Structure formats: structure tokens, C-alpha cells
Structure 1
Amino acid sequence: MTTFSLLPAPASRQMRTWLCVGTILATGLLSMQLSGTAYAAEDETASLEALEHQMAQIQEQQKALQKALMGMQKQIAAHRAALTHGGGSSATQSAVSGSSHHTLTTARNTTTGSGTGHKGWSPETGSEDVGIESAGTTATAMNTPHTTGRHVTGPDAQPVFSGQDDHPDVEAVIGHRAEDMISRIAENSVGPHARETAGGQAAGALGDHGVFHMGPVTLILGGFLDAAAVVENRHIASGTFNYWQAMPYPNESRYHTNNFEGSARYSRISLMARGNVDTHSTISGFFEMDFGAGAATTDAYESNSYAFRMRQAYLAYDNSDLNFHFLAGQAWSMLTPGRIGIIPRQESLPETVESSMLAGQTWARQLQFRFVKDFLQHRLWLGLSIENSATLYDTTGFTSSDGTVTLPNGKTATVSSNGTGLTNDAPFSNEIAPDVIGKVAWDPHWGHYEAVGILHFPHDRVASLGQGHNNTAIAGGGGGSMVLPVLPHKVEVRLAGLAGVGIGRYGSVLLPDATLKADGDVAPIPSIQATGGVIAHPTPRVDVYGFFGYQEAGRRYSNYGGGAYGYGNPNYSNLGCETELSTLGCTTNTRSVMEATVGAWYRFFKGHYGTVEAGAQLAYSRRDAWKGQGGGPDTSMSQIFLDFRYLPFQ
């Protein structure tokens, strides 16, 4: 019988060559593991390091093999499509389908090594927990090439190459996480967050534990149990969540006393539900909660009963045919720096133990409607986000109560109202429009780069008896970030910054967005914030980091009839700032806050039961005030953070 090949001769030779290489690699992996096991009897620690190094090298070779196999799949798909449109025979199409099936099955077996679907260390993500679907699920997809079904596509899976939409021929290897797929395609040498649960990152479950299938929907558990404490040389009753504007000056007694506080309140749980709408689109929902809220019944002396709170809750739709992505719900603001494209759960956040992360860090978690399109094989990303607005006002110098401000001309300005009904009794600012945020992200072969801009519209109403008018200001700013993989998956440098007017609340220090002029008009306050850091992963079990952050607010003030108003007014009195319990006055509008910190995480247990890790961090912060009468005081604080964390699903 004569056998016909639809592939060009070089492609056929290339396929045979790579299949041979795959077989050799699989055999080599088995022999290396056996030799490593024998060596472990002599020196267990040294053999583990040798195995990890060998596995890393083999995985790099497997990566090249997978790329070649995907190229072959594309060639097969192209030939099949040409034959289909050109009236090729069914026998010929079956031959192509068989070739595709054989190629991808080989890729699966080469990747997993044993076909068991167990996870291993991946040089692409720097994670020991990257996994694929179980062998049973994948094998079923491979062995039923002509059965109509729904493909896992979009950012949650490898691309599907099929000649006919209603009769898919090839099912790709399925990754558990969308960000795993994007990192393999983009190849920016950054990849997903290598330690995604360090600090504020918890991105969901990895590997084959914490993943449940309920019909067409997959449920993925994530989160951790956290026990953290801080020792500091100033008393700030905020625990491991720094509120830098509460950092005391010498006129307060808490400036002169040390403080210890510990809690498990930042333990976290997350749940993702994901299903396939059709061949090219995926829908997912994500919940993330912790106990960070302080309810009215919280008792710090006995029960320590902190309230369950929503961190994130959103739905996401991803379409791999249109390269379109939509998100609706509460998530990290699109202003937050990222690591790969414009993808949720891949924010570039510092790995610090402190829950407030870092002074100068740009972030918010709020309602948004996000629209993203990617181009050039997932390298260029454009995003537009409509997000909830909330103006943070400073009313120093004015008499204010419950959101109303008495102006020196006798009129009243209303900037906020206290919540009612199911909303807590706290100020909610008057807003006339949402914040509008735009972002462009670029993922070349080396590094991740972003540029971002925001428009904000602070709004108030000024009234006297029987008449009044509204005031709206246009505020906003711009900035950017980058992640530089100096040594890919070993050492990286992160830089980020944002500058503008009326956007201070988007920094961790929570400097004000705006103040009021003497006539009640809105006066947006200029601000700038920046962070930089170096993160190293010397071994798969250890992370070491160092960060520096800075945030500053400018002056916006006015004087009327001998009175001083606004933010940073030089006529304010600071005469009593240096004397404990002084009554001479200490206005202390914050000019700037900086923080320098170093720390490390060590994972001393890691396996199918999850990960147990410990972290330690040393931080130094400094707060400077705008100068007034008596000068401009400053204060500082030193802190030691300690943390033990159990991540059962990672």
C-alpha cells in the first residue's frame, strides 16, 4: 500500500526528528530520576538540588519541543483547511486527522513524562506547581477526535486547531490557569507571579489539588491560613496593615512607646468557577475574601471577631477567536501594575508581609467594567476600564460635619453624605461620573511594559438659603510600570510610578485627592507616587526581596479674612509638634511618606498537602509634614513583621 503525506518533506523530517527527541528525553528523564534516587541514599540534600537542576534543563528542552509540535499542528491545520475548501477527499482528511492526533498525543506524553498528569517544576513560570489536566481527561479528548464537544480555549488553554467547527479534530493540552497559557505564548521571560500567594497575590489553585469538576463547570479553590505579627517602635493601632498617615509625631504619647500586635485576620479564601461557552470562549467567576474588616462587635480583648469581607468578586469573559476580554465586578483597578498583558490575578504586587504592601504602591479594588483587546499573538494589549469613583477630601481649616463644610463666606459646601440603609454609616463622596482608565501593555521577548492614564471628576455643591450651584473639576494623571527579568525566573527588577492631580487615593498612603477653595470650589491636589524593587529566587524554596516606595502630595490652600484654609497652608501652626501633650497646635498635613524594606520567604514544607511557609520583613518608614509656623516636623518608624502561612491548594 502506498502512503501519501500531506506535509512537505522538510516538515515530515522535522516531525520525525522531534518525536525521536521526545522519546530520548522521556527515557533520559527516567534514568536521571533513578540515578538521582540512588544518589539520595548518600546525600539527600545534594541529590534534591541536582534533580531540580536536571529537571529544569529537561523542561527547557521540552519547551522547545512543544513549540515545534505546535508549529506542526498549525501546518497540519493549514493543509487540512486548504483541502477542505478545495474539495479534498474524506480519506485524505482522515489521514491528516490521524497525523494530528498522533503528534499531539506524543506531545502530551513527552510533557508529562509518565502520562499521570502530575505537576513538576516549570522554567516558564518558575513554579513547582504548574500542572495539566488529569491523564484520564486529556486522553479522552485525544482518543475521540471526531466527537463533537466543547473545547477549552481562550486564555485558559492551548489553542485549538480544527478543520471544522462542528467536528473538532484536535484537543490541546489544558492548563489550569489562564495566566499559564498566556505566559507560554507571550514568552516575555517574566511569566506568571512565581510565588503568587506571597504578599497580596493569591491567584487561585495550582496543580491537581483544589480543583473539582461539576459537569461543564470547573471549581478551583485557593487561599491560605495566615498568622502574622508586627513589632514596631511607635504605637499605631492598625496591626500589619500600615496606615502611614497615623504615624505619630512627638507631641503624642504613642510616639514614645513600642507596640506588638498579631492577628490571623488576613487569612484568605478564594473560589473560581469556570466553564466553556463554545469553541472559542470561556466564562469565569472569581470570589476572594478575608477577615480584614472591623465590625462593631469586634472585641480585641477577648474574641478578636473580625468581619468577613469581600476583596474581589467579578466575572470574566475571554474569546480566543476575537482576542477580546471583558471583566465586570470588583477587582484590582486597571491602574494596578501587572506582569503579563492586562490579565486579572496577575497584578505586580510586592511580596511583603505587611498587608498594606508598600508606601507608594498604586492600587485600588473597586467595581469596574473592563474591556481589553490583544494583538500580535498576545504581545500588545489595549484596555479601557470604567471604574467606581470616590474622591478623598481634606477639609483642614474648615468647619465640617457629616459631609457638609461651612465656608468663610457663610455658604455651605456638600462633599459627601453618610451611608444609609445597608450601607455603613460613613462618608461617601458626591460623584458625578466614574473614573475612566486606559492602559497599553507590551510583552516583547524580554520584560513587561505598561503605560496608563486616568481621568477623574471631583464634584461638590455650594449653596446658601434658597440658591446654590454645582462645581466639577477635571483631574487625572498618567504613569507606567515595567518588570525586567534580569535573570529570567531568578532575579527581576520592578519599577512603577503615577503622577497627576486628584488621584492621591490610588496610592497605599491614601493622601487626599482634593480640598476646597475658600469659595467652596473643588481644588484637586497634585501628587506623585513611585515604587522600585528587586526580587530574587535563589532556590525553589526561598524568595528574597527589597523594595523602596515614595508618595507625595502638593499644596492647595487659600486665605480669607484672616483665616487659613486648604492643604499644606504655611499659615498653619506646627509650634507644638515636638513637645509631648503640647496645646500650641500641630496641623501636620502630610507632604510625603517613604518606605524602605527587605524581607524573605522560606517554604519548609511543600507537597500534595500544600505549602507551609514563613516570612520575615524589616521596614523603615518616614513621614514628613508641610512646613507651617514653627517649621515642618517629621517622624519615622521601624517595624519587624513575622508570618506563618499554610497554603493548602498550592
Structure 2
Amino acid sequence: MRIPFFSTNRHGRFAGMLMLCSALGPIPLAWGDEDPESLDIMERQMEHLQQQQMSLQNELMAMRQQIAQHRAHLGGTSGGSGTHPLQVTASGGHVHGGWTPVEGRGAAAHANGGEPVGRPYIGGHSDPMPMLDDKPTYESVVAHREEDLIAHMANNNVGPHNRETVGAQSAGALGSKVFHLGPVSIILGGFFDAAALVENRQVSSGIFNYWNAIPFRNSSNYHTTNFNGDARYSRFSLMARGQLNPHLTVAGFVETDFGASAETTNPYESNSYVPRLRQAYLTLDDSRANMHFLIGQAWTMLTPDRVGIVPRQESLPETIESSILAGQTWSRQWQVRAVKDFMQHRLWAGISIENPATIYDTTGFSAADDNGEYTLANGGYAKIGSNGVGLSSATTNYSNEIAPDVIGKLAWDPKWGHYEVEGVVHFPHDRSVINGVGENHTAIAWGAGGSMILPVIPHRLEVRLTGLAGRGIGRYGSVLLPDATLQPNGAPALLSSAQTTAGVIAHPNKLIDVYGYFGMQRSGRSYFDEGGQAYGYGNPMSSNMGCWTEGSTDCTANIRSVEEFTIGAWYRFIHGQYGTVQAGTQLAYSRVNTWAGMGGAPATSLSEIFFDFRYLPFQ
């Protein structure tokens, strides 16, 4: 786009102002909707556009003056048309590509002493200024990326994540600065994280709650408090985005942190945690057909959203603990997703084909080897998976899977709130060998659920409710309860599962977020007895006799349910062009209940205090 020639006469200035007003005029009609937050955004956009126009005018005047002086020094004329057009490349905003201003004809303006010469604004909400014959679009004026634009067009009084909030950070929020490599826009995100916790039990998982490992009274860890702090959840993300045509956009997104451990990782000297892949996917969005495609590793489509079915708008608790919350539905995995929206982005329908996995509980079954084989009661064995080879972890058993998980979701964004219904089908698969005869087994696991966000006070106080229930889907909850155990013939025996969360989140002002949540996940049981031996999950004949005696190993303690209560707050005490610095604290109490066996039904608990500091340079 060419920068217009700014005339120094009165008629030229009047035409320029008229052009700018005509470009900005339609914005209140599209965005107002009696929404104070939208009005604030418009005012900031108008102010920034005015500042940018003045900065560019000053810059062009200064460059013309320099050219005139240079030509005068060489013996040329200062007012000639010139045969060498000046070209300057700068940021082109969020929606359109870069622009190239070209020196126009006419006398060079003179910048006499006065204000310092401005510089083109790189990044942020920098948009090209339209010429008189341009037809500015809503996107080019407002300068919002597609996910934000959709959210505002279908305003449900919940709104998209504010980029500085922890919920947005968990979902993969991007910053407001935009850089350009030719026609490709580069947007960065992430933060530097320094978190710590104090807990009344020794659980060696850091700020990631692994509820399955909370010790019972028979473990010395039950009687030991623990402090742990690290920076391993510092995060970096990048999105590359290109506009193929006015209606078609392609983007790639990658997000990493240092949450993984290597064989040499230790807490004694270097604390050298290693990078891991959180998300990596590409998207294709067609605004004319209202179709949205995603392929790669991302949050499962079962994860609740805030608006529509839009990547990086997942509705996740603001907790410090990296395991999020007991009962939260989530997973990050490979998928192929197709979504269509209707009724001006208010009704959404999506289907996703996602990478499968099955968590088996093998209580009572002895391992035939260390490669996913378990001895059956009749002397045969069941093969439920294989240890990783090649570039996969040799200590991780990868379950046998015959087909991907299939997930469907409907989302509705009326004027008030966000509502979802969803379902999933999963196909656990294994093989058994009895008396030299092998047989494959496939079960059909399923689940159904939904979520809602109720903006009690729009953009200030909201209530979030989520739930998912079914059979064989325990791994979609934060607690990672088992999906299945084994039948006498080695076939998968699906376990019923249910999980739910409820939360209240307050944003009293732009600096503070306060939250409180309850989460719960529970599992059913499936078992049988053979030859006086108890097999399966939750078997009442399993022994819990030693669960109350320190040092005893006679404690089966199959988990029946896990509950968590938590409250916390975040305070953004520094915010500016250099980013955001925030501090947070969280109190959490978790309780683990077990299925009764011989000796009773033991229970345990965990109390934690989290502290965290984050610097977000791009938000």
C-alpha cells in the first residue's frame, strides 16, 4: 500500500482528515454494542492511528529534507521530481502485509527545529494508512487477529482471554507485537516463570500434581513436608501467519517449555530440565465459507473453550499448578480438526480425529515381561502395549491402538454466556494368548459431557462449569485414572469414569484476578477372583491391611475418587510496552478416596501453597 502524499495546503489537510474520519467512522457501529471495553479499545485504536499518522508525516518530511540537502550538496535541485524514488519498509499490521511508501512529487516539506522526528511503529497495532481511493476493511482498521475478531463479532459477554491473564497463558496466548518477514507475520508469546511450593507430603513431582502418587500412611513420605522450586515451566511460543487471499489465512503455531526430564536430570547441581513439545500445529481459516481446519498437536477438542471452537481460546483454570486442576478435561495430542461456524459466528460445530491412548490398571496380574505383557489367571498372557523404541522413550509403554479417537462438539455463543456439548468414542485394543492360541480384542469406550461459562457480571465475574462422564475415558482427566483393566480372557474391561469442575473467577480490575475452584474425578471398578487370587480394579478382596502401618507394603488402595479445593490470585504489578510482570499465589487441598478392600478403605490428603512470578515480555 502506498503512503499518500500529504499536502501542505488547507484543502489537502481537509481531504486527509475527511479520509481518516471516513475510515474510522464505521467502527462504533460494528463494535459499540454498549460495551465499555470495546469503546476503550476503539479510543485507543483511534489515538494510536492519529499518533502514527503524525509520526509518518514527520518522518517523510525529514527524509525529504535530507534528500534535498544531499542534492543541493551535489549540485542538484531541491524541488525536482527526482529520478530515484525512496522506499522504506515497515510493519504492516496484523492483517495486511508490509507497505512501501514512495516519495511523491512536489516541493519537499521543511521540518524546522521543533519536535523530534518520529519513527515508524514496528509491531503492536500498526496498520497501513489508507489512500483516498482505498476501501478500508473492518479488519484493517481495527487491526485484530482473526481469533480476537471472531470473539468480538460474536460477543457473548465472556469475551476472549485478555492476553495477560493466566488462563490465556495456559491456552497459548500470543503477544501484541507483530514482526514481518515479507508477507508472513511473526507473533511471539510465552513467559519466564519462577514457581515454588510448600506441601505437607513428599511428592517428588514439583508443581505438577500427580495425585496417583500422594502417599498413604504406610509411606514415610506421608509424614514428611516438602519444598520445591524451579523455572522449568518457562515457556516460549511462536506463530507464523500468512494471508493467502482476502478470505484465506494459513498459520503455524509452536509452543515449548522445559517440563521434561532426561536421564541426567537431577536436583543436586545443574537442575537441567529439557525442552518438551507442548503444541505444534497448522491452521487454515476460510472466512468466506466460515470453515476452520487444524492439524497437529494441540489441546484436545474436548477441552472447554471461552468462545466458539477456536485455538488458543481454551477455558483453563488460572491455577499455578501445571497439572491444572483435579477433574479438568484436557489433553494435548495430535489431531485433525474441522470446524464450521454459523449465524455470524454464534453457532459452532466441529469434529476431530485424535491420537488414542489407553491407561490400563493391572492389579493382581503379574508382569510376564517388561514389555507390556501380563500373566492371566489361566496361565496365558495379555499384550496391552510395547515399550518405546527408536526415538521413543524405552521406559514408556505405548498402548496398542487400532483406531483414532473421534470427538464431536457443538458450541453456542448467545448474547450471554458460552455453552458446549461434546462426545468422544475410543477403541481400546489388546491381544491375548492362551494355550498357544492368540486373539485380538477391541472394546468401544465412550463419553459425553459439556461446559458453560456464565458471565454473572460481564467481564468482571464469571462462573465456569464443566463435566464429562462415560466408560473407558479416565485418561482425559487431570488425575489420569485408568481407562480399563483386564477380563479373565485378557480382553479390556472398561471402567466407568466421571469428572467435573466448578469455579468462580473475578476480575475486579485489569491488574487483579481472583479465583476459586472445586474439581473431582472418580472411577468405577471391574474385578474377578480366580483360585483365591483377587484380580482387577477395586476388588473388595484386595488387601488394604497395611495401609495404616508405616513401612508396610500390603496396601492395594485403588483410587475411587480425587477431589480438590483451591483458591488463588494473580497481581500484575508492572505493565507497559516492555511487557507484564505478575505475581501469584494459590492454596490447594486434595483428598484421595479408595475402593474398600480387606482392611478398609484408606484415604489420604495433600495440602499445598504455591508461589509464582512471571515476566511476559510480549504481553
TM range (shorter): 0.7 to 0.9
Relative to structure 1, is the Cα distance of residues 225 and 138 closer, same or farther in structure 2, using a 3 angstrom cutoff?
closer
- In structure 1, what is the equivalent of residue 577 of structure 2? 608
Please say if residues 564 and 571 of structure 1, whose CA atoms lie closer than 8 Å, have aligned partners that are also in contact: yes
Please say if residues 194 and 489 of structure 1, whose CA atoms lie closer than 8 Å, have aligned partners that are also in contact: no
- In structure 2, what is the equivalent of residue 295 of structure 1? 262
Q: Equivalent of 1:270, from 237, 244, 249?
A: 237
Deviation at 1:140, TM superposition (A): 3.8
Identity of aligned residues (%): 59
Q: Where do residues 505-516 of structure 1 align in structure 2 (5 Å cutoff)?
A: 505-516=475-486
Letter in 1 for 2:258: F
Q: Equivalent of 2:131, from 137, 143, 147?
A: 143
Question: Residues of 1 paired with 2:292 and 2:37: CA distance?
Answer: 30
Does residue 523 of structure 2 align to residue 535 of structure 1?
Answer: no
Unpaired runs of at least 5, structure 1: 1-15, 27-55, 67-106, 119-130, 152-156, 160-170
- In structure 2, what is the equivalent of residue 101 of structure 1? none
Question: Residues of 1 paired with 2:181 and 2:191: CA distance?
Answer: 23
Does residue 190 of structure 2 align to residue 254 of structure 1?
Answer: no
Does residue 296 of structure 2 align to residue 308 of structure 1?
Answer: no
- In structure 2, what is the equivalent of residue 381 of structure 1? 348
Q: Equivalent of 2:50, from 94, 114, 117?
A: 114
Deviation at 1:277, TM superposition (A): 1.1
Deviation at 1:338, TM superposition (A): 0.5
Deviation at 1:58, TM superposition (A): 6.5
Does residue 411 of structure 2 align to residue 480 of structure 1?
Answer: no
Please say if residues 108 and 115 of structure 1, whose CA atoms lie closer than 8 Å, have aligned partners that are also in contact: no
- In structure 1, what is the equivalent of residue 111 of structure 2? none
Question: Residues of 2 paired with 1:117 and 1:576: CA distance?
Answer: 76
Deviation at 1:582, TM superposition (A): 2.3
- In structure 2, what is the equivalent of residue 189 of structure 1? 157
Please say if residues 360 and 531 of structure 1, whose CA atoms lie closer than 8 Å, have aligned partners that are also in contact: yes
Question: Residues of 2 paired with 1:178 and 1:595: CA distance?
Answer: 36
Please say if residues 457 and 473 of structure 1, whose CA atoms lie closer than 8 Å, have aligned partners that are also in contact: yes
Kindly provide the CA deviation profile for residues 275-296 of structure 1, in whole angstroms up to 9, marking residues without a partner as x. 0111210000000000000111
Deviation at 1:559, TM superposition (A): 1.3
Q: Where do residues 339-350 of structure 1 align in structure 2 (5 Å cutoff)?
A: 339-350=306-317
Question: Residues of 2 paired with 1:472 and 1:359: CA distance?
Answer: 29
Relative to structure 1, is the Cα distance of residues 62 and 629 closer, same or farther in structure 2, using a 3 angstrom cutoff?
closer
Kindly provide the CA deviation profile for residues 335-370 of structure 1, in whole angstroms up to 9, marking residues without a partner as x. 000001000101000000111110000000000000
Higher helix share: 1
* SS at 1:201 equivalent: helix
Question: Residues of 2 paired with 1:225 and 1:365: CA distance?
Answer: 21
Letter in 2 for 1:116: Q
- In structure 2, what is the equivalent of residue 467 of structure 1? 437
Deviation at 1:135, TM superposition (A): 7.3
Letter in 2 for 1:320: S
Question: Residues of 2 paired with 1:172 and 1:360: CA distance?
Answer: 42
- In structure 2, what is the equivalent of residue 413 of structure 1? 382
Deviation at 1:62, TM superposition (A): 6.7
Question: Residues of 1 paired with 2:127 and 2:555: CA distance?
Answer: 71
Question: Residues of 1 paired with 2:252 and 2:132: CA distance?
Answer: 29
Deviation at 1:158, TM superposition (A): 4.1
Does residue 362 of structure 2 align to residue 395 of structure 1?
Answer: yes
Question: Residues of 2 paired with 1:230 and 1:320: CA distance?
Answer: 45
Letter in 2 for 1:598: I
* SS at 1:114 equivalent: helix
Question: Residues of 2 paired with 1:605 and 1:138: CA distance?
Answer: 23
Does residue 287 of structure 2 align to residue 320 of structure 1?
Answer: yes
- In structure 1, what is the equivalent of residue 520 of structure 2? 550
Question: Residues of 1 paired with 2:127 and 2:566: CA distance?
Answer: 49
Does residue 606 of structure 2 align to residue 626 of structure 1?
Answer: no
- Aligned pair count reads 527
Bigger shift: 248-257 or 109-118? 109-118
Please say if residues 53 and 129 of structure 2, whose CA atoms lie closer than 8 Å, have aligned partners that are also in contact: no
Question: Residues of 2 paired with 1:358 and 1:109: CA distance?
Answer: 37
Q: Could you say what the CA RMSD is over the residues aligned between the two structures, in angstroms?
A: 2.7
- In structure 1, what is the equivalent of residue 73 of structure 2? none
Relative to structure 1, is the Cα distance of residues 574 and 280 closer, same or farther in structure 2, using a 3 angstrom cutoff?
same
Letter in 1 for 2:613: F
Q: Where do residues 170-181 of structure 1 align in structure 2 (5 Å cutoff)?
A: 171-175=140-144, 177-181=145-149
Please say if residues 202 and 223 of structure 1, whose CA atoms lie closer than 8 Å, have aligned partners that are also in contact: no
- In structure 2, what is the equivalent of residue 447 of structure 1? 417
Relative to structure 1, is the Cα distance of residues 59 and 469 closer, same or farther in structure 2, using a 3 angstrom cutoff?
closer
Question: Residues of 2 paired with 1:274 and 1:633: CA distance?
Answer: 53
Q: Equivalent of 2:543, from 573, 584, 588?
A: 573
Q: Where do residues 211-226 of structure 1 align in structure 2 (5 Å cutoff)?
A: 211-226=178-193
Relative to structure 1, is the Cα distance of residues 466 and 354 closer, same or farther in structure 2, using a 3 angstrom cutoff?
same
Letter in 2 for 1:331: A
Question: Residues of 1 paired with 2:440 and 2:451: CA distance?
Answer: 36
Please say if residues 572 and 628 of structure 1, whose CA atoms lie closer than 8 Å, have aligned partners that are also in contact: yes
Letter in 2 for 1:596: F
* SS at 1:277 equivalent: strand
Please say if residues 171 and 315 of structure 2, whose CA atoms lie closer than 8 Å, have aligned partners that are also in contact: no
Letter in 2 for 1:644: F
Relative to structure 1, is the Cα distance of residues 523 and 627 closer, same or farther in structure 2, using a 3 angstrom cutoff?
same
Question: Residues of 1 paired with 2:174 and 2:571: CA distance?
Answer: 19
Unpaired runs of at least 5, structure 2: 1-17, 29-33, 55-92, 96-119
Does residue 399 of structure 2 align to residue 429 of structure 1?
Answer: yes
Please say if residues 320 and 586 of structure 2, whose CA atoms lie closer than 8 Å, have aligned partners that are also in contact: yes
Please say if residues 204 and 220 of structure 1, whose CA atoms lie closer than 8 Å, have aligned partners that are also in contact: no
Kindly provide the CA deviation profile for residues 216-242 of structure 1, in whole angstroms up to 9, marking residues without a partner as x. 000011000000001000000000000
* SS at 1:183 equivalent: helix
